[in-house]
Structure 1
Amino acid sequence: MANASQRSLHPSKSFMNTINRESAQDVLDSVQRIHNLIDSIEHKQVEIEKAWSNMERNIDVLKEIDNLEEGVASVTNWILGPADSMLNAHYQIGFDVASSEELRLEHEKLELECRETYGKYAELLHKIDSISSDYLSEDLKSQRDFMDFVCRSFATRLEKRRNVLITSQRFFRLVSEYFDKTSEVFDKLIMGSRTCNVSNAGVKLMKLDRSQQKLEGLEQELVKEGEKLSDVLSMPVKDALCRDVLIDYGEDIVNIKDILDATNARKNIFNDSVELQKLTLKQIALVYTYESDVEQAISWLNDLFDVLVDSHVEIGCNVTEIQVQKQEHQSFQDTARGTYEYGCQLVNGAKVLRISCKLDLMSNMGLLSRLRQVWRQLRSVSQEQLTRLRVCAVFHKNVADVSYCR
């Protein structure tokens, strides 16, 4: 159209040049009219060009809007169709660590498939929001809002599904860990302690106590995750249009309850075994303490024997000195007898505990034999010394009586 205008204006200008050369007065008015006509044509040409540009721009915008509408429809239809169908087909939560891990990996693949569509969704939102309100129709606004609604609803459901699988996997992993750990502790610290050495019973008792505390924490975490998973499965499932999806998790909820019941039963049996074993280990530790004290008593008696031999063999020179020595020796004998009797009580207590714990009695009998032997040795020497003191006391008394009679 612009070219046609130019072609029409060119002969007119040539014609005007010819008229100007003739310079005829009678045509001056006509020249003016022609100039005005040319100006009018040029002005209209500019307006036509502007209108043409606006029309082309409007056509481009309309094409873009058509493309956006097609894109919105494509994304919306994919979410409401294939995406919802795929998610409806993936509803299991597994029954152990391996199966729940497999389902989680499948869900990650599903999320990857949705990623391209969500990229288109974000791009469409950006483009639509960038369009001037003069060109944005109410229909496109409605389509845009509907796409946004279904995409967000689907994303929420996809996120919930992922959280369910994570909770399921964590629950089954805790169950497996709890059962494995209780078996390990039972084998090592309970069954393995049936032949426990009395010297390391205290160490095993501390290990068993720490293991029990850790397992109690693990069991509490397991129950918490199981109850959380059961609660999540009890909640209604909504599709992208927020309509209820008929998914029956009844069997899974029953399975979780059975696992929690089995865990509780195992906990009770395990705790009973642990408490019994802790009692046994405490008794064995007491055996070690008692028999260590018996060893100390034997050592004290040996020390008293050495003191007796080294320091209690002299005899006083008169009745008074001998009487003081007899009192000191009597006190010495009382100390030795108290030590021996204390050792006997300990060795007998250790024997009772050994019988209760079904431990070997040979070392206990050997300890009692050593205690009696050192006591007999000490008592024999002590009695000899006491006899000497008495004889010497009588002798000095008789000597004193004879001297008095003279």
Structure 2
Amino acid sequence: MEASTILPVLKKKLAFLSGGKDRRSGLILTIPLCTEQTSMEELSSTLDYLLGIPSEKCKARGFTVIVDGRKSQWNVVKTVVLMLQNVIPAEVSLVCVVKPDEFWDKKVTHFCFWKEKDRLGFEVILVSANKLTRYIEPCQLTDEFGGSLQYDHMDWVNKRLVFEKFTKESTSLLDELAVINENEKTSQPDKPRPSDCNALPSFDPETVLQTGHELLSELQQRRFNGSEGGGGGVGGGGGGGTAWSPMDDELLAQPQVMKLLDSLRELYTKYQEVCRQRSKRSQLEEIQTKVMQVVNWLEGPGTDQLRTQWGIGDSIRASQALQLKHEEIESQHSEWFAVYVELNQQMAALLSAGDDEDLLELKALQQQLSDVCYRQASQLEFRQNVLQSAHEFHGTAQDLSQQLDGLLGMLCADVAPADGAAIQQTLKHLEEKLKSVEGALQSLREKGQVLLEQISNQTSWFYGKEMQIENKENVDHVHSVMEDMQLRKQRCEDMVDVRRLKMLQMVQLFKCEEDASQAVEWLGELLDALLKTHIRLGDDSQETKVLLEKHRKFVDVAQSTYDYGRQLLQATVVLCQSLRCTTRSSGDTLPRLNRVWKQFTVTADERQHRLDMASSFHTAAERVLKEGCEQVEVLEVEVFEEVETVGKALLDRLTVPVIFPDGSEQFFGSPGDMASSAENIRDKMKLVEDKRLQHEEEEEEEEEEELEAEHLQEEAALEAGPDES
């Protein structure tokens, strides 16, 4: 009977072996009756189980049964005692019925157990709890009987469950391990192994061993503590300290646990070696299977996938599609490469701890797997490099084509720049685009050369065999793209040269137009300066001569400016004819130039005329105003008249405006400037007039003096005549 089958009954504590012993070293069996009705069937089962625990040697010493009837009725106690006769008559040597202190006294006479000793087979005594120590030592009694023996029934039940579980599992495990080890020993490595050879035990040996060691440690610790408690002999309970359970050699068979553990360790050690050999064998078989799976796939479907992928595409989109396809192939390969890495690690671990007979096979497998994987990986990498180069080549070709299209569109568009700066900016833009195109073409050549070298180095995807792949289509495509781009670039360069020449001519045209307009502005500024600042006529003849000289130089500058403007406008006409710019011409620049020039010539002529008159006026006036009698004597009336005539004419001239060909009028300087010049002329004319009057007076005086002298001579002659006579 096992404790687990009657566990609910055992937990009721209907009877228990406390571990205490009587003076004959017999075990004490305690039956604590309670106020509730005790099931005789359950009590019988409990007694059957408890009496099956001690060894035969222990049973031979007999049991002392304590029936605690203090909380029960007399008829129940009597029934229990009679039941002991049927259950364990031979093993019971003494039954101590613990009676209540004030009860049963009258009923004892009706039934005396001592009279029935021969019929019962054991002695029955009625005793109170405080007198129980007459028969049993206090240290062997539990606390409910005034003893010092500690007992925890639930702890005892749990330990019994552990012990029985360990005993059952270890016994079963020993049988299974013995069968497994024997089967492994008789099997032949070269022949197929039956499926039952790889059977596993029903229980985990490590767990069972751990349970056994913990149980043994608990038993040894309790026995040690119990013996230190002092008293009770072998397995006797001690007072105080750790709760004592009947787990000594006699009640729980500690040697049986030790024997089971020893046998279990021995068979488990052999089983571990069996498992190690089995695991190694299984691992080798699994590795070999996986290695062949990897090799077969890489040399089969993997190689077929690569063998069909050799093109480079004819555009960037096609090359991208090929790259995506290659990425799918790489993704499939990466799964097998991951298996390779795992297998390689497993084989490396086995090689580091393997037996000599396994090394050669493992090394051969490892080498075969590594060769195939590295070879396939190098082919994948080479193919990826070719596709990457093709993608870069097509990308550069596409970029170059777009640049050439943009440049061609720019060259084909009509040129209608607003000014020379816009033309210069356009020229700069053209040069930058052409330079960018040249750089892109050079990059295309370099990438094309790299791609051609890679294509020429391609080999067949068959392992160990090299054969030329049909790469003519790829090579022709690369050369065709580069030649086409070169021709397009050359055409654009020729068009750029033509456009550059046209642009330069347009720059020259704009420059001529700009300079011609500038010449008109300069001529206008000269005219404005002539009218506003060239107003002085000089204070004397010398100053007037200087002004005349400056005027001639000023007119020469204006003439040069006019001639320069005419030349620029003529060049503009020629450039427009060369550029076929029918919409452009000299515009109003030539009429403005001619108009300003005519105004300037009229004004310059007027200025010249006034300066000439001023020179004549000052020259004549200075002849009159010079000091010296000899000069005065030679002055004639015409000189004075000339001064007066020229001066009046000059004054009249100053009041007359310059009349331009278009009928407009313009005065020299401001009215104040003209008044100042007229005042100077009038002052000088007054001086000449004064000089004339003075001259006339002097002439009258001279005439009077001459008349007087003649008169005196005549008188003197008249006086001399009489004297002579």
TM-score bin, normalised by smaller chain = 0.7 to 0.9
Q: Is the 8 A contact 1:153 1:242 kept in 2?
A: no
Give TM-score scaled by structure 2 length: 0.48
Aligned to 2:109: none
Q: Is 2:311 the counterpart of 1:89?
A: no
Aligned to 1:164: 386
Query: Which among 488, 494, 497 is matched to residue 272 of structure 1?
Result: 494
Alignment of 1:4-403 (within 5 A): 49-131=268-350, 132-135=352-355, 136-188=358-410, 190-199=411-420, 200-239=422-461, 241-360=463-582, 362-400=584-622
Q: Which amino acid aligns with 2:319?
A: S
222 and 273 in structure 1: CA distance in 2 versus 1, 3 angstrom threshold: same
Q: Which amino acid aligns with 1:103?
A: L
Q: Is the 8 A contact 1:100 1:169 kept in 2?
A: yes
Q: Is the 8 A contact 2:509 2:576 kept in 1?
A: yes
Q: Is the 8 A contact 2:306 2:461 kept in 1?
A: no
Q: Which amino acid aligns with 1:80?
A: E
Aligned to 1:14: none
Looking at structure 2, the residues matched to 325 and 286 of structure 1 have their Cα atoms a distance apart, in angstroms, of 39
Looking at structure 2, the residues matched to 300 and 356 of structure 1 have their Cα atoms a distance apart, in angstroms, of 28
Percent of aligned positions that are identical: 24
Q: Secondary structure at the match of 2:588?
A: helix
Task: Give structure 1 stretches of 5+ with no counterpart.
Answer: 7-41
Question: Which one is further off, 130-139 or 279-288?
Answer: 130-139
Q: Deviations over 1:135-157 (max 9, x none)?
A: 44212211111211111111111
Looking at structure 2, the residues matched to 142 and 3 of structure 1 have their Cα atoms a distance apart, in angstroms, of 41
Q: Is the 8 A contact 1:239 1:245 kept in 2?
A: no
Q: Deviations over 1:196-247 (max 9, x none)?
A: 4444212211211111111111111111111211111111315373432542
370 and 221 in structure 1: CA distance in 2 versus 1, 3 angstrom threshold: same
Q: Is the 8 A contact 1:153 1:239 kept in 2?
A: no
Looking at structure 2, the residues matched to 207 and 101 of structure 1 have their Cα atoms a distance apart, in angstroms, of 33
Q: Which amino acid aligns with 1:192?
A: A
How many residues are treated as equivalent by the alignment? 373
Larger RCO, structure (CA 8 Å, separation 6 or more) = 1
Looking at structure 2, the residues matched to 236 and 369 of structure 1 have their Cα atoms a distance apart, in angstroms, of 78
Q: Which amino acid aligns with 1:297?
A: A
Q: Secondary structure at the match of 2:538?
A: coil
Q: Which has the higher helix share?
A: 1
Give TM-score scaled by structure 1 length: 0.84
Q: Secondary structure at the match of 1:386?
A: helix
Aligned to 1:16: none
- Deviating beyond 4 angstroms after TM superposition, the runs of 4 or more aligned structure 1 residues are 1-6, 42-49, 398-404
Q: Which amino acid aligns with 2:272?
A: S
341 and 4 in structure 1: CA distance in 2 versus 1, 3 angstrom threshold: closer
Structure of greater Rg: 2
Q: Deviations over 1:305-363 (max 9, x none)?
A: 11100121332243212101101111211222222233233333333333222223644
Q: Secondary structure at the match of 1:162?
A: helix
125 and 165 in structure 1: CA distance in 2 versus 1, 3 angstrom threshold: same
- Root mean square deviation of aligned Cα: 2.8
